[in-house]
Amino acid sequence: MPEHTVKRYDEELDQMTGTILRMGGIVEQQLARAIEALVKRDPELAASVIADDEPVDQLEHEVDQLVTRLLALRQPMAVDLRLITASLKISSDLERIGDYAANVAKRASSLSQVEPMRPVAVIPRMSQIVQTMIKDVLDAYMARDAEKALAVWRRDEEVDETYNSLFRELLTYMMEDPRHITPCTHLLFIAKNIERMGDHATNVAETISFLVTGTPLDEARPKGDTTPFATSPDDTGGSQD
């Protein structure tokens, strides 16, 4: 894309996208470290993840200000307008991802006080998918790559499926022994948080697709979380719609 005649306009747009990418970098790290804190049962690491919420909120606030300024002073059109409105949405999705990561860290901290649970092993696998989604969606934003965004969008189904099987597994443990209920509930919320992060990464992917093409994605979004309909561990096989 050629540069704007007014160079300062390009600098302001670069500043906005740069701020988003910094936010993205922090939340990506937040998720990775929250999971590490869970696996290594490390409350100090968990505390540092929670503390990172502050800079993320700060950056979101900066994006808000930059966007308002650009809209007021530059009267953006077409692709510039889409980039600016997309960035505003993406920053709020990233901020939510950061919040969920902090919540995972809080629960990891609580779990480090009790006996280790077996299904903890599934969570890093699930988280790995979501971390890659976040990374790819940020790359897609930087490169304005609609194809890459679409690939992330499609991967969300995998996250939902992993969440479904984990949900089933955790219910089984809780039925086995009521003493498992507290740690399993924490794990279930952790898994739900990660699943929600995947949804926000998917939102970002949709936003990027619109930013690049100018038209909303017309495919129906893949929806794989069947647990809202579950009444027993056997209900989450994923066959019902």
Partner 1 sequence: MTMTTETAALQNMPPSKLEITELDVHYGATQALFGVDMRVAENSVSALIGPSGCGKSTFLRCLNRMNDIIEGCLVDGNVLLDGEDIYAGELDVVQLRARVGMVFQKPNPFPKSIYDNVAYGPRIHGLAESAGELDEIVESSLRRAGLFDEVSGRLKDSGTSLSGGQQQRLCIARAIAISPEVILMDEPCSALDPIATAKVEELIDELKEDFTIAIVTHNMQQAARVSQYTAFFHLGNLVEFGETEQIFTNPEEKRTQDYITGRFG
Residues at the interface with partner 1 (CB under 8 A)? 1-6, 9, 75-82, 214-215
For partner 1, the closer of residues 122 and 217 by Cβ is 217
Least gap, CB of 11 to partner 1 (angstroms) = 14
For partner 1, the closer of residues 215 and 232 by Cβ is 215
For partner 1, the closer of residues 4 and 41 by Cβ is 4
For partner 1, the closer of residues 22 and 89 by Cβ is 89
Tell me how far CA of residue 113 lies from CA of 1, 6, 38, 91, 166, in angstroms. 54, 58, 11, 34, 22
Amino acid at 189: F
Nearest to 206 by CA among 220, 193, 192: 220
Distance, in Å, from the CA atom of 76 to the CA atom of 117, rounded to the nearest integer, reads: 53
Least gap, CB of 153 to partner 1 (angstroms) = 20
Least gap, CB of 145 to partner 1 (angstroms) = 18
CB < 8 Å & 24+ apart, contacts of 164-168: 164/224, 164/225, 164/226, 164/227, 164/236, 164/237, 164/238, 165/122, 165/236, 166/119, 166/122, 166/123, 166/126, 166/191, 167/191, 167/227, 167/230, 167/236, 168/230, 168/233, 168/234, 168/236, 168/237
Least gap, CB of 81 to partner 1 (angstroms) = 7
For partner 1, the closer of residues 78 and 121 by Cβ is 78
Contacts of 149 (CB under 8 A, 6+ apart): 137, 140, 141, 204, 205, 206, 208, 209, 212
Least gap, CB of 96 to partner 1 (angstroms) = 27
Residue 192, by phi and psi: left (phi above 0), alpha (psi -120 to 50) or beta? Answer: alpha
For partner 1, the closer of residues 22 and 74 by Cβ is 74
Least gap, CB of 210 to partner 1 (angstroms) = 10
